[in-house]
Amino acid sequence: MLPYFNDTFGNPSSIYSYGQETRGAIAEARSKVASLINARDEEIVFTSGGSEANNFAIKGVAFANESKGNHIITSSIEHHAVIEPCKFLERHGFKVTYLPVDEYGLVDPDSVRKTITDKTILISIMHGNNEIGTIEPIADIGKIARDAGVYFHTDAVQTVGHIPTGVNELGVNLLSMSAHKLYGPKGVGALYIRKGTRLSPLIHGGDQEKGRRASTENVPGIVGLGKAVELAQQEMTEEAERLSFLRDKLITGLQEGIDHSRLNGHPVNRLPNNVNVSIEYVEGESMVLNLDLEGICCSTGSACTSSSLEPSHVLLAINLSHELAHGSLRFSLGKWNTEEDIDKVLNTLPGIISRLRAMSPLVKKP
């Protein structure tokens, strides 16, 4: 992608040869993205990232299909980039159903079927959950949506390039992705729009992306996304297997090594790179800071840094108590993680936890 910052800087909308060169680079990236998800080139629209893709899909369908109905179905564990556009639409006269999930974070396809009314214009259910790693039964929901004639969108930011995301296999009309979740650059993503899907643009202006998304293209970003997708396609199967092994080793080790802990999310239908556990009597940020001091980076669903002080909506949706939600840790594994890294976490964390538990007023005195 680097040459597209300096040497190949032509505007793809221009007819001079510099412009044509960048145009070709965008077309190539588009083909790579389409190929990864078994789509056609013209069904891919580049965006500024996953959030824009989600906003585009949800608001775009809502505003283009208002005459047909005003009801949207989504889940209670979606990313904020889905929940917030839905809340925005609620303030503009749309009705949104936020389906509950079970203790593993699974959406029940049958509950989707039962919630569809003649006013339903869109179903949006994420493919893989970013916090607890649960993979949703998208293909099953896809069949239900198709039978009912309702558009189906999936936020696949966590899954594209990591597990198969063929749009026909999943049965979706719209699919969001983000480059930096598959080792690409930040600030670029794409929305797959099945041919014939009616949706309004989010950004009006010039006729870039066939008028579906105005604004001069982020050429280096798009080229970077294309390259990331190409590499992911080559490595995906093997890498998913390798990461799943590391993931399961970490899960088993944490469960055996730390008493009063639990796995969050589904034990089997799970992203290969996601481990999320709750550890009783200790707060997440204090664990994250201690691990950081040992060179281990992870995150927590505790919300001590957010102004609301509310822990993650996903952890509360799977019925964790506030205390357990505040005591959550999420490890995201990647292509540079090794078995030694897993051992390091397993050797480091128990000591941190016993130190923190020694100062926790929640640990009952013997």
Partner 1 sequence: MPDPTSLYSEKVMEHFRNPRNVGDMENPDGTGHVGNPVCGDIMELYIKVNDNTITDAKFKTFGCGAAIATSSMVTEMVIGKTIEEALEISNRAVAEALGGLPPVKMHCSVLAEEALKLAIDDYLAKREKQDGENE
Confirm or reject binding of residue 358 to partner 1 (CB under 8 A). yes
For partner 1, the binding residue among 282, 314, 333, 349 (CB under 8 A) is 282
Helical (H) or strand (E) element with 189: strand 189-193
Amino acid at 124: S
128/301 with CB nearer partner 1: 301
Amino acid at 147: D
For partner 1, the binding residue among 115, 117, 252, 306 (CB under 8 A) is 306
Confirm or reject binding of residue 297 to partner 1 (CB under 8 A). no
Residue 330 in contact with residue 301, Cβ under 8 Å? Answer: yes
Confirm or reject binding of residue 366 to partner 1 (CB under 8 A). no
Q: Which of 86, 297, 298, 304 is catalytic?
A: 304
108/285 with CB nearer partner 1: 285
In total, the chain counts a number of residues equal to 366
Confirm or reject binding of residue 311 to partner 1 (CB under 8 A). yes
Residue 49 in contact with residue 187, Cβ under 8 Å? Answer: yes
| Residues 316-355 as x/- pattern, contact with partner 1 by CB under 8 A | -----xxx--x-----------------------------
Q: In the chain, what are the helix, strand and coil shares in percent, each to the nearest 5?
A: 45, 15, 40
Residue 158 in contact with residue 269, Cβ under 8 Å? Answer: no
2/289 with CB nearer partner 1: 289
196/366 with CB nearer partner 1: 366
95-99, strands of its sheet edge to edge: 44-47, 189-193, 174-178, 151-155, 120-124, 71-75, 95-99
For partner 1, the binding residue among 304, 334, 338, 354 (CB under 8 A) is 304
For partner 1, the binding residue among 140, 285, 294, 341 (CB under 8 A) is 285
For residues 45, 47, 49, 52, the Cα torsion angle rounded to the nearest 10 degrees is -100
Confirm or reject binding of residue 246 to partner 1 (CB under 8 A). no
244/360 with CB nearer partner 1: 360
Annotated catalytic, 304? Answer: yes
Confirm or reject binding of residue 293 to partner 1 (CB under 8 A). yes
Strand duo 328-332 + 274-279: pairing: antiparallel
For partner 1, the binding residue among 72, 120, 283, 337 (CB under 8 A) is 283
**Alpha carbon distance 242, 236 (integer Å):** 10
| Least distance to partner 1, CB of residue 200, Å | 37
| Residues with a known catalytic role | 304
